[in-house]
Structure 1
Amino acid sequence: MLRVLLIEDEEPALDQLRRFTLQYAPDATIVGECQQVSEAADFLRHNPAPDLILSDIELLDGNVFGLFDQVAVSSPIIFITAYDAFVVQAFEQNGIGYVLKPVQYAQFAAAMQKFERLRQSFQGAALRQLAATMGAAPAASYKQRLVSKTRQGLYLLEVATLHYFQLRHGVTHAVDGQGRAYVLNETLSQLETQLDPAQFFRLNRAEIVQLAAIERLEPYFNDTLTAHLRGTPPTALTSSTHRTPELRRWLGLK
């Protein structure tokens, strides 16, 4: 049985999603209907994860991507929206489909068919993996690339080429070895969970550094450390007082 959560703030559109869902899968169960990000977050905190989420993007209390800052979302999502500007962000956040309004049933059914194919493929792979590992813990998966959206287009950034991440005027920037800075949608806290902790370290509230980019370290005021980075132009980043002990342990220093 398919368990579906609907997130939509316009009643006619919500009714259409309900009808299309049951038309496509008559035995499906609509486990919840939310009109706001806060409602969806509350539902996901207190209920089992649905098999699928059908979600609008612009809701009564803001953008649905704020949901991912409030609660862990493990369910695949088909985004259904009147805007085409969120495609990249959608597929970075559990998105498996992107349907533009006004929605035609054929478009909806195609997205649902994609979900079914992915679901069957995943279930088969999961069973094979379970048989192969016999309970071994899966290896953590960290981001290998990030996306920077600019007026000129989308830049695909290989994480290995990025020397550090820095908060500038409230906006996260990724900086490479040539000093080129790229704006990111992610917060530094989000990046902390997405990047390999064996390679990246949070120096302070505003900066994350890559281990391979550090050329040398030197003591600084109040027992902190300044990391001098390779590349051009020369860059120096300083750890905060409360992060310095952890930095020393991370680098294998006493």
Structure 2
Amino acid sequence: MNVIIIEDEDRSARQLERMLKKYDPAVQVLAQLPSVSESVAWLSQHSVPDLILMDIHLEDGLAFSIFEQIQLTVPIIFTTAYDEYMIKAFKVNSIDYLLKPVDYDELVNALDKFKTLRSVASSPDLTKLLQVVQQFRESPFKERFMVSIGTKIRSVETGEIAYFFSEEKATFLTTKEGQLLPLEYSLDQLTGMLNPSQFFRMNRQFLVARTAIQTIHVYSAGKLKVDLRPTPRQEVLVSLSRIADFKDWLGR
């Protein structure tokens, strides 16, 4: 079975490849593609694979843009952190979905489903999916995140989030109640996914909700220190290059 993985997080892509090999050592991963543009280019120049594993949020936009540029007749398994109203559209014909972080047993079930559908020559029907995608694009900002807590998955609305931060190459969100939860997204990705009227990128480590700001301290040379609620594990300073934008954002 020939597979391509469309996923912009290298760690997630490597994990998917390991699980595919565990499922069937004969699986060949032909390519790992991190963006819409690279995916369109690869699919235009190569024979179609047997199966595509596709993340929804890629480094240059939503993966659905691929469907607008090239006609796909290959089964797709989506990996997604989107909520239920989107997921309902994924389960059409040979399309399936896996919530991130991907569980091996769920991947096995999806691959078994793919094999069954392939045996009856089914091909994907993207009509319903694209209809829901259009509705999603009318409200482009993310309203909730699916996060793992042990063996459970929790839906966290953006209104519950105080701030996001990065630490040792990992990303976390902190709820207003002080719960710290891991995320698959980078801060750069999150900056483009959240409503800019509600969240501001303070520096390379912190992306903060307006409602989490408690006090702002002015230091010498115009530096700003921001106290957040709940209190983070490190000081939050506004980058010098961001101070003017931060003041403008506060005044809106």
Q: What's the TM-score, normalizing by structure 1?
A: 0.60
Query: Can you give the 5+ residue segments of structure 2 that lack an aligned partner in the other structure?
Result: 6-16, 18-23, 68-74, 91-95, 98-109
Deviations for 1:194-227, whole angstroms, at most 9, x for unmatched residues?
A: 1101100000001000011212222134312222
The answer on whether the counterparts of 2:214 and 2:228 sit within 8 Å (CA) in structure 1 is yes
Other structure's SS at 2:59 match: helix
Equivalent residue letter for 2:128? L
Q: Which residue in 1 is equivalent to 2:59?
A: 69
Is 1:42 the counterpart of 2:38? The answer is: yes
Q: Structure 1: which 4+ aligned runs deviate by more than 6 Å?
A: 107-111, 232-235
Distance 1:223 1:112, change over 3 A: farther
The answer on whether the counterparts of 1:7 and 1:56 sit within 8 Å (CA) in structure 2 is yes
Larger Rg: 1
Deviations for 1:32-74, whole angstroms, at most 9, x for unmatched residues?
A: xx821249853425888xxx997444xxxxxx65992366522
Give the Cα–Cα distance (whole angstroms) in 2 for the partners of residues 108 and 208 of structure 1. Answer: 48
Alignment of 1:126-165 (within 5 A): 139-165=138-164
Q: What's the TM-score, normalizing by structure 2?
A: 0.60
Deviating more after overlay: 231-240 vs 214-223 = 231-240
Structure 1 residue 101: Cα displacement: 3.8
Distance 1:7 1:162, change over 3 A: same
The answer on whether the counterparts of 2:166 and 2:172 sit within 8 Å (CA) in structure 1 is yes
Deviations for 1:86-133, whole angstroms, at most 9, x for unmatched residues?
A: x7xx133797224324743337879856x35515x829x96xx9xxxx
Structure 1 residue 143: Cα displacement: 0.9
Structure 1 residue 178: Cα displacement: 2.5
Give the Cα–Cα distance (whole angstroms) in 2 for the partners of residues 67 and 228 of structure 1. Answer: 32
Deviating more after overlay: 198-207 vs 228-237 = 228-237
The answer on whether the counterparts of 2:56 and 2:62 sit within 8 Å (CA) in structure 1 is no
Structure 1 residue 237: Cα displacement: 2.2
Structure 1 residue 235: Cα displacement: 8.1
Is 1:105 the counterpart of 2:116? The answer is: yes
Distance 1:213 1:164, change over 3 A: same
Equivalent residue letter for 2:76? I
The answer on whether the counterparts of 1:203 and 1:209 sit within 8 Å (CA) in structure 2 is yes
Distance 1:157 1:43, change over 3 A: closer
Sequence identity, in percent? 20
Give the Cα–Cα distance (whole angstroms) in 1 for the partners of residues 57 and 157 of structure 2. Answer: 26
Distance 1:38 1:143, change over 3 A: closer
Does 1 or 2 have the higher relative contact order (CA < 8 Å, sep 6+)? 2
Q: Which residue in 2 is equivalent to 1:7?
A: 4
Distance 1:47 1:103, change over 3 A: closer
Structure 1 residue 161: Cα displacement: 1.0
The answer on whether the counterparts of 1:173 and 1:183 sit within 8 Å (CA) in structure 2 is yes
Query: Can you give the 5+ residue segments of structure 1 that lack an aligned partner in the other structure?
Result: 1-5, 15-33, 58-63, 80-86, 130-137
Give the Cα–Cα distance (whole angstroms) in 2 for the partners of residues 196 and 164 of structure 1. Answer: 13
Q: Which residue in 2 is equivalent to 1:118?
A: 128
Equivalent residue letter for 1:78? I
Deviations for 1:155-175, whole angstroms, at most 9, x for unmatched residues?
A: 221111111101011110100
Equivalent residue letter for 1:177? K
Structure 1 residue 247: Cα displacement: 0.5
